[in-house]
Amino acid sequence: AQSVAQPEDQVNVAEGNPLTVKCTYSVSGNPYLFWYVQYPNRGLQFLLKYITGDNLVKGSYGFEAEFNKSQTSFHLKKPSALVSDSALYFCAVRPYDNFNKFYFGSGTKLNVKP
Amino acid sequence: DSGVTQTPKHLITATGQRVTLRCSPRSGDLSVYWYQQSLDQGLQFLIQYYNGEERAKGNILERFSAQQFPDLHSELNLSSLELGDSALYFCASSAEGRLIPDTQYFGPGTRLTVL
């Protein structure tokens, strides 16, 4: 079955420390991969996407993600966390050869403490 | 502000009723997506329209239907409502071409409460 997994419901990190939000996927064929962020009482905002090319993708607000095909992962990272990064983060995948489907992970709540 | 508008912001209705949610995409975007976000189901992709035609279908119930009009706005119709349909419904739009997925811009959502 095709799916996206975010193994951590919550990630806690101190301000200034690096952060990682994990995402693994299971789809047939090559994937298009996305990260979105949702702040309280707001809609989702696009952070970054991997379509093809360089495995390291840079996105909004200093976030980046690395596509690892062998580990089927697309972890979201930031070198130095800010309190304002505290939000709900969603990973999503769209199979290249099954464009009609779009799968979201369950979301990871990031808490950045001062 | 993403440029995507959704109306109404809040909707309270009773079980068995029918409601229509409306979405206006960003100017020039041909693709519209609908999502449902609930506490127990998380974020679920429902359906996508591209230039008036259905492009992709996710976990959309048969009681739900959607359409995209010639002016590109979209409506999501929910009928025979059940308590479990209470959720946030998001619309998103993108300038997506036929093969490459593009950035989606999300509206503020419609909060549906079924009593």
- List Cβ neighbours of B97 (8 Å cut-off, separation of 6 or more): none
Q: Which of residues 79-98 of A touch B (CB under 8 A)?
A: 90, 94
Size of interface A-B (CB pairs under 8 A): 50
- Residue B2 and residue B24 in contact, taking contact as beta carbons nearer than 8 Å: no
pLDDT by 10s per residue, chain B, length 115: 789 999 999 999 999 999 999 999 999 899 999 999 987 778 888 999 999 999 888 889 999 999 999 999 999 999 999 999 999 999 999 887 656 667 788 999 999 999 9
Average pLDDT over residues A82-93: 95
Mean pLDDT of all residues in chain A?
90
DSSP for residue B59: S
Q: Is A40 exposed, middle or buried (0-12, 13-18, 19+ CB in 10 A)?
A: exposed
* Interchain CB distance below 8 Å, A45 and B106: yes
In A69-107, at which residue ranges do the beta strands (DSSP E only) sit?
A: 73-78, 87-95, 103-104
* Interchain CB distance below 8 Å, A46 and B104: yes
Chain A contact set for B92 (CB, 8 A): 43-44
Using CA atoms, how far apart are residues A85 and A89, in angstroms rounded to an integer?
Answer: 10
For residue B79, the distance in angstroms to the closest alpha carbon of chain A comes to: 24
Which of B4, B43, B48 faces A104 most closely, judged by CB atoms?
A: B43
pLDDT at A109 (0 to 100): 95
Give the chain A residue whose CA is nearest to the CA of B40: A106
Q: Which of residues 42-71 of A touch B (CB under 8 A)?
A: 42-46, 49, 51
